[in-house]
Amino acid sequence: MILSIYEAEKNETPIPRGYPPFAGKIAWSRHLYRRLERPMKYFQEKTTALKKEEAKITIKLFNTVCKKLLFYEMMVHESWIKQCSSIYDALESPILTLRGTVRQELVLNFDPFFRQIIEETEIIRKLDLEVPDIALIVYYKQDQIFERYERIKGLLERFLLNKFRVPNDLSVLMRPLMKKVEKSFMPGVTNINWTSLKAPEYFDFIELHQKELEETITRTVEIISIRINQCLFDISHTMMIDLPEERPMNWPEYMDRIRRYGVVVAKELEYKSRLCEQAVVDLINMLLSTCDMPTPSESPTMWLTANQPVLFNGGMQFRIVMKCVQ
């Protein structure tokens, strides 16, 4: 019966629940061996049946099945040891890789075999079988590997989330800062692997640029929503004519009232317009400061003085903006 089960299931071994592939096959083999060994021990210890001449056939069959199970276990174990040698490449591979040909994206380069080899090592050690040195290294460094995996995964998710937070109208002007953050990830594509000693410094370096990006996006959204959009909303809802509601007016009185009201409205609109202009200048200067380019020598708010016409401070700022856009 045990021999027929072995022959039927050896090519498609049923893996016990919660077991990795190789350790599951060894556990299946040992389970069949225990089922075979239990009655033989009973006959050997409690009876003299195995000493009879007729028992030689049974003993021979028992030994044959045991050899098959032992050979199967040795074959699976050797296959696992050979596969463990491939973990060298996974340990030395960069923690990030670029996916895509036209528009490349940063993705994690985490080999699922890490988890499998750790689970296999834990079970095979309990089975008192040989474990190669590389598997023990990965097993004892599993906390470090998973900690680095979770950290770089969190940094990547934050970066993708920040991309969606950038206002569409400013996506081009924000591109230099986004490129700077992407550049901070690049060592993970070339030099930093899962056992690098400089990995903590690398993560801190990315964290620094991530914070700069998040602060810039937050300030940008605040300037646009509070200082620009709110001013434009107030301007668009300003009453340009003060019409009387309680009594009719003749046209000289109406024109006089319009002139007096127009002076007040004009001053208010001019004040709000200058606030909006100042907010735009602050926004441009803030984005320019993230471009790692020289700032203009003249004051960026010189054009807002009362004695000068309202003109954009062209020259250097315009050239820097165009260079950032390119």
166, 174 in Cβ contact below 8 A?
Answer: yes
108, 152 in Cβ contact below 8 A?
Answer: yes
Query: Six-digit token pair at 286?
Result: 């803030």
Chain mean position to CA 132 = 32
257, 249 in Cβ contact below 8 A?
Answer: yes
Cα 171 from Cα 167, distance rounded (Å): 6
Q: What is the pLDDT along the chain (326 residues), one digit of tens a residue?
A: 777 787 777 788 888 888 888 999 998 888 888 888 776 776 666 666 666 666 677 777 777 888 888 899 899 999 999 988 888 888 888 999 888 766 778 889 888 888 989 999 999 998 888 999 989 989 998 999 999 999 999 999 999 999 888 888 888 888 888 888 999 999 999 889 998 889 999 999 999 999 999 999 999 888 888 888 888 888 888 777 766 667 777 778 777 777 887 788 888 888 888 888 888 888 888 888 877 665 555 555 554 554 444 434 444 444 443 444 34
Q: How many helices (H) and strands (E) does the chain have?
A: 13, 2
Residues 6+ apart with CB under 8 A from 1: none
Residues 6+ apart with CB under 8 A from 155: 185, 203, 206, 207, 210
Residues 6+ apart with CB under 8 A from 118: 138, 139, 142
- With 0.75 as the threshold, say if the pTM is over it: no
Cα 322 from Cα 173, distance rounded (Å): 9
88, 98 in Cβ contact below 8 A?
Answer: no
Cα 304 from Cα 289, distance rounded (Å): 20
